[in-house]
Amino acid sequence: MEELENLDKKQFSEKALEDFRLIDKAVKENDDQAYAELMKRYNRPVYHMILKMVRNVDDAEDLTIEAFAKAFKNLHRFKKDYTFSTWLFRIATNNSIDFIRKKRLETLSIHSSYTDDNGDAVSIDVQDQRLDPEEEAIKLQKIDLMRMFVTRLPPKYQRLVKLRYFEELSYEEIAKELEAPLGTVKAQLHRARELLYDLVKGKEQHI
């Protein structure tokens, strides 16, 4: 046991080991605070990485929520063979690449790399391929992922979120659909995102 602990200390940074402890609490004890702490640790760096890829603040915020939702949903499958940050950033990267492919955004920043807690480069591999029949399956998976949280939002926010996440309308298209000022739509969606963050972190009591 002591040998394993020494091996862990040699292989992983203290921050990575603390992540492991938080993951154990989140998965085994369903500890809401553990989820919240993991999100607090990585929310900003994940957001900034995604922003460099998509170059749009609103899209980056949406994709950040999706990344954490997907990571937390699959946290029980996480293996401690590598750091949580490496695993999380790959989830966020792959999700963003799907978005870029779908939107056909042209950006060079997807060829950059992220360095994890151990100083190892996490490569971002992008396949040169067009949209294929699997794109619809990807979209449905994202809808299923978000539906877990959206149904628990106050009714006035549910339509906004469905238009943005499920039907994937732009902010301008949503404003036209709802016959509402663009500023109002943006403000309400920002609030809806805050509520989604709380749901992802397990803070349903604030909803």
Residues 6+ apart with CB under 8 A from 7: none
For residue 156, what are its two tokens?
């006035």
pLDDT of residue 51: 92
**What's the pLDDT score for residue 92?**
94
Residue 129 has pLDDT above 50, yes or no: no
Give this prediction's pTM: 0.62
- Give the 3-state secondary structure of residue 91: helix
Domain boundaries, the chain: 1-131, 135-207
Q: Which CATH class is domain 1-131?
A: mainly alpha
Round to the nearest angstrom and report the end-to-end CA distance of the chain.
Answer: 43
Predicted confidence (pLDDT) per residue in 63-91, tens digit? 888 888 888 888 889 988 889 999 999 99
Do residues 176 and 9 make contact, with C-beta atoms less than 8 angstroms apart? Answer: no
| Domain 135-207, second-level architecture | Orthogonal Bundle (1.10)
